Amino acid sequence: MEEVEISTEKKSNPVKSFIAGGVGGMCNVLVGHPLDTIKVRLQTMPTPLPGQPPRYKGVIDCAARTFRYEGFRGFYRGISAPLVGVTPIYAVDFAVYAAGKRLFQTDDHIRLTYPQIFAAGALAGVCSALVTVPTDRIKVLLQTQTVSNGPLLYNGTIDTAAKLYRQGGIRSLFKGTCACILRDSPTGFYFVTYEFLQELARKKSANGKISTTSTILSGGTAGIVFWTLAVPFDVLKSRLQSAPEGTYKHGIRSVFRNLMATEGPKALFRGILPILLRAFPSTAAVFFGVELTNDLLKA
C-alpha cells in the first residue's frame, strides 16, 4: 500500500487542528450557505399533485424565486445556526482527525498509509456528526418554513432551539442523528482524497512545498468526492429533520420506504446539482482556512 508522509507538527497536533478546523468551518459556511439553502428547498419540496408542476423546476428556478420573494437575505436564511455551530463541528472534525492520525504515529516522521488516514477520517466523521445534528436540525427548519404552506413557527436560531426543546426535549434537537452519521460516514474518503492530491502536488513541486492553488484544488475535489457519496443520506436526513413530529415513526427507515414508494430512487439524488456546485468552493474554503491557520500557528 502506498504511503504518504504526514508531519506531526503541522498535521497531527489536535489542539492546533481544533483551532484551524473552526476557522475552516466558518469559511465553509460563508461560501456555501446560499447553495445549501437551495439544496434543502429542492430536497424538501412536497410531491406535486397529479397535473400540477413541482414547486421548483430546478436550481435556477429555485434561486430566482428565492431572490424574487426574499431578496439576497433569503439565501442566508438559517445561517446563524451553522455559523455558530460550525466552529465546534469542524474543530471537532479536524481535532479528531489529528488525534486519529497520532494514534498511528510513533514519532514525528512516521509515514501513514492511506487506510490509516481513512480510519482517522471516518472516526472524525462520526464524532463531528454528533455535534452537527442540532444545528443541522435548526438550519433545515429555518430554511424550509418560508416555503411551506403553514404559518411561520420559528423566529431565528435561539427561538427554534427553545421551541424544539419545549416540544420534545433533547430528543427533538437531536432528531436525525442516525441519518447525520450515515451522511458523514464517507469522511474517510474526504481526507484520503485531500492527502493523496496534496502529496502528488508536493512531489511535483520544485521546492517540495504545497501552493495555495494546490490546497484549493485538492480541497475542492475532496468535497466533490465526499458529497457524491453522501447525497442520498443527506436527502433522507433533510426529509426527516424538516417533517412534523410523528410523520416518520421509524426514523430514516420510514423516510426511505416512503420515498421509494412515492418518488422512486431518483428522489435520493434530488438537489445533487446545488450540492456539487457548492461542494467545490465551500470545501476548498475549509482547507484554505485550515492550512492558513496552521501556517499562522506554526509561525
Dihedral angle over CA of 36, 37, 42, 43, nearest 10: 60
What are the pLDDT digits (tens) for 164-189? Answer: 999 889 999 999 899 899 999 899 99
What are the pLDDT digits (tens) for 27-76? Answer: 998 888 888 888 888 888 887 878 888 888 888 899 998 998 889 888 88
Q: Which of 223, 200, 209 is nearest to 287 (CA)?
A: 223
Q: pTM for the full model?
A: 0.77
What are the pLDDT digits (tens) for 193-213? Answer: 999 999 999 988 878 788 899
CATH fourth-level superfamily of 14-45+54-144+154-298: Mitochondrial carrier domain (1.50.40.10)
What are the pLDDT digits (tens) for 70-105? Answer: 898 888 888 887 788 777 889 999 999 999 998 888
- Give the start-to-end residue ranges of the domains of the chain: 14-45+54-144+154-298
d(CA 289, CA 27): 6
The whole-angstrom distance between residue 285's C-alpha and the CA centroid of its chain comes to: 13
pLDDT band at 148 (very low <50, low <70, confident <90, very high): low
Helix (H) or strand (E) holding 74, with range, is none
What are the pLDDT digits (tens) for 280-296? Answer: 999 999 999 999 999 89
What are the pLDDT digits (tens) for 229-251? Answer: 999 998 999 889 888 877 888 88
Q: CB under 8 Å to 149, separation ≥6 — which residues?
A: none
